[in-house]
Structure 1
Amino acid sequence: MQPIFDFFFQQYQDYPSIYIFLEIIAVIFGFLSVWYSKQENILVYPTGIISTIIFVYLLWQWELLGDMMINFYYACMSVYGWYIWTRKVDAVHFTPVTRTTPKEKIWSVLIFIATLIFVYAVYRYFDKWNNWTAYIDTVTTAVFFVGMWLMARKKLENWIYWIIGDLISVPLYFYKGLTFTSFQYFLFTIIAIFGYLSWKKSLNNTLQTA
């Protein structure tokens, strides 16, 4: 058992205890946020904001700029999503799950490209373009930026972006020494798959009702 434990957690031996504690708290609230998103529950946003604020602090300490920007963007988009999800489309109904429109697909592409350029510029400015993980960070940041924007607008396709980004993040965060966060993204992948199926069912029910 000891070799297995060391394999997964030895990278924490030099971390301050407060960082480990904060990462665990952020992971718990991050898990709750994704679970609430699957359930179309508005608590997705307050729990998500708590998780992302903690991660912004931790990732700044660890100088993981791409990951930090992802979480800062999450926190900002959570405020926007909170508003969209609580907005009524009529006297009794809140914003429903819908598919991405052609215009939103174009915006998704633009957000993806703009994010690639922005993250590249930030990494160059801070001289962080010195590891192969920087290339992966740039791509995952762009994927998650689009996913978060679509989730805030309650679009079914947001889950596809989350699944892709989560699958990449599992080994990436483990390589970076953030085992708890790697486990979090593994769970995120599973929830995202069920989230897609749940939202698709909700969309079909809405269409049948209409």
Structure 2
Amino acid sequence: MQPIFDYLFSQYSDYPTLFIILEIIAVIFGFLSVWYSKQNNILVYPTGIVSTMIFVYLLWQWELLGDMMINAYYFSMSIYGWYVWTRKVDDDHFTPITSTTRKEKILSVVIFTGTLLFVFGIYEWFDKWNNWTAYVDTITTAIFFVGMWLMARKKIENWIYWIIGDIISVPLYFYKGLTLTSLQYLLFTIIAIYGYLAWKKNLRNDLRPA
């Protein structure tokens, strides 16, 4: 058991205690945020804001620019999403779960492509193409940017992007030495699958005639 524990967590031996505590807190709030998203609960945003604020600080310290930008974007989109989710479409109903329109599908492609180009430019500017993970970062960043935008707009397709990005992130973060964050993304993958199924059921119920 000890060799397994050492293999998974040995990289933390050189980390400041504060960083370890902050990562644990960020992981817990990140888990809560995804869980509340699955439940279609507005608490997805305040819990997500706490998690992303901490990760922005930690990832800046670790010089993981792509990951830091993802979380900075999460923070801003959480504020936008909080507004959309609490906005009433009429006197009795809040913004419902819906599928993407043709226009939103096109915008998703534009956001994905624009993010790829933007992150590429950032890595080029800071000369961060020193590891193969940088190339994967550009892809996961683009995936998560679209997923977060769709989630803020309560589009069921957001879960597809989360599932793909989370699956890629599990081995990626483990390779980077962030075992706790890697485990977080493993849990995110499982919750995202259940989230998609729960939202799909909710969407079907909303489409039924009264």
1:19 maps to 2:19? yes
Listed as ranges, the gaps of 5+ residues in structure 1 are none
Which residue in the other structure is 2:53 paired with? 53
Which residue in the other structure is 1:129 paired with? 129
Q: What is the alpha-carbon distance in structure 1 between the residues aligned to residue 154 and residue 38 of structure 2? A: 11
SS at match of 2:14: coil
Which residue in the other structure is 2:96 paired with? 96
In the alignment of these two chains, the number of paired residues is 210
User: What fraction of aligned residue pairs are identical, expressed as a percent?
Assistant: 78
Residue 98 of structure 2 aligns with an amino acid whose one-letter code is T
Residue 122 of structure 1 aligns with an amino acid whose one-letter code is I
1:33 maps to 2:33? yes
Give, in angstroms, the shift of residue 209 of structure 1. 3.9
Residue 25 of structure 1 aligns with an amino acid whose one-letter code is I
Q: What is the alpha-carbon distance in structure 1 between the residues aligned to residue 177 and residue 111 of structure 2? A: 29
Q: How does 1:1-210 map to 2 (within 5 A)?
A: 1-209=1-209
Residue 100 of structure 1 aligns with an amino acid whose one-letter code is T
Listed as ranges, the gaps of 5+ residues in structure 2 are none
Give, in angstroms, the shift of residue 131 of structure 1. 0.8
Q: What is the alpha-carbon distance in structure 1 between the residues aligned to residue 11 and residue 180 of structure 2? A: 11
Give, in angstroms, the shift of residue 181 of structure 1. 0.2
Give the alignment's Cα RMSD to 1 decimal. Answer: 0.6
Q: What is the alpha-carbon distance in structure 1 between the residues aligned to residue 54 and residue 209 of structure 2? A: 41
Q: What is the alpha-carbon distance in structure 2 between the residues aligned to residue 2 and residue 41 of structure 1? A: 39
Give, in angstroms, the shift of residue 27 of structure 1. 0.1
Q: What is the alpha-carbon distance in structure 1 between the residues aligned to residue 129 and residue 53 of structure 2? A: 25
Deviation per residue, 1:25-58 (Å, 9 max, x gap): 0000000000000001000000000000000000
TM-score by length of 1: 0.99
Give, in angstroms, the shift of residue 19 of structure 1. 0.2
SS at match of 1:140: helix
Deviation per residue, 1:78-97 (Å, 9 max, x gap): 00000000001111100000
Give, in angstroms, the shift of residue 129 of structure 1. 1.0
Q: Which stretches of structure 1, 4 residues or more, deviate above 6 A after TM superposition?
A: none
TM-score by length of 2: 0.99
Residue 130 of structure 1 aligns with an amino acid whose one-letter code is N
SS at match of 1:13: helix
Q: What is the alpha-carbon distance in structure 1 between the residues aligned to residue 128 and residue 176 of structure 2? A: 14
Deviation per residue, 1:107-166 (Å, 9 max, x gap): 000000000000000001111011100110000000000000000000000000000000
SS at match of 2:208: helix
